[in-house]
Amino acid sequence: MSVFKFRHFNILQADNPMKVGTDAMILGSIIDASGKTRGLDIGAGTGVLSLMIAQRNPAIEINAVEIDDLASTECQSNFDTSPWKERLSVHSGDFLDFTFDETFDLIFSNPPYYQTRNENLEHRKAAARHESSLPMKEMVTRICELLTDQGDFWVIVPSEVAEVWFDECRNAGLFINLAIDVTGKEEGPVKRIILRASADKKPEERRTLTIRNTDGEYTKAYKELTRNFHDREV
């Protein structure tokens, strides 16, 4: 049985095509959910992002959407065994086809982002990893419809497609007000960019986050960022 242990909850991930990784760890730690009450997790996978946010915000209720049936079932199991099960629910289906009866002041996603045609031959992994399963333009348009006027949308993307995300958000009426450049190792290239967008235009802020020092050890910034989630010292 594949289990990823956090400090206050566990993630069962035997049936999920995408396991808990560094992208989810840093995104879930960075998202500012303070003051938010209604969250939407797009492509929830194991449910790790929802659980991390629920841990930090005792007032938020989160709806998660996951297209893969087995992953959705496992996500619900992870919710049910957590201390916040009353505030978390998962819906199995395609986010673009799902009908919501409310809007959200926090929307977040660790989306499929590989845009090449050389998709993984194993269908479930391909769907979890490739943009064809959740086209960017349609995704951003739908998010814009569901986000409240004061709401925030958070996403982590590869650096090489970040400008496309900038453009799609602007075209849909969302403004990027925070971009965090993430490097895997000190002095290395930017591999990921975390974006925060909203319908409310604010000054754009740019930050950086480095995960490991040149000696391979985790940086002080990464340790501080994730210290409330790891079940051991990193």
Q: Which domains does the chain have, with CATH numbers?
A: 3-226 (3.40.50.150)
pLDDT of amino acid 127: 42
Q: How many angstroms separate the CA atoms of 133 and 113, rounded? A: 9
| Structure-token pair, residue 47 | 């449910």
Laid out side by side, the sheet with 61-66 consists of 88-92, 61-66, 38-42, 104-109, 147-158, 190-198, 175-185, 205-212
User: Parallel, antiparallel, or unpaired for β 88-92 and 61-66?
Assistant: parallel
Q: pTM of the entire structure?
A: 0.89
Is the per-residue pLDDT at 117 higher than 60?
Answer: no
Is the per-residue pLDDT at 121 higher than 60?
Answer: no
pLDDT per residue as tens digits for the range 10-20: 998 887 878 88
| Structure-token pair, residue 65 | 């959407």
Q: What is the DSSP letter of 214?
A: T
Helices (H), 31-161: 48-56, 69-80, 123-129, 136-146
Amino acid at 166: F
Q: Share the mean pLDDT of the chain.
A: 89
pLDDT band at 2 (very low <50, low <70, confident <90, very high): confident
Q: How many angstroms separate the CA atoms of 32 and 96, rounded? A: 25
pLDDT per residue as tens digits for the range 155-210: 999 999 999 999 999 999 999 999 999 999 999 999 999 999 999 888 889 999 99
pLDDT per residue as tens digits for the range 48-79: 999 999 999 999 999 999 999 999 999 999 99
pLDDT of amino acid 232: 73
pLDDT of amino acid 113: 61
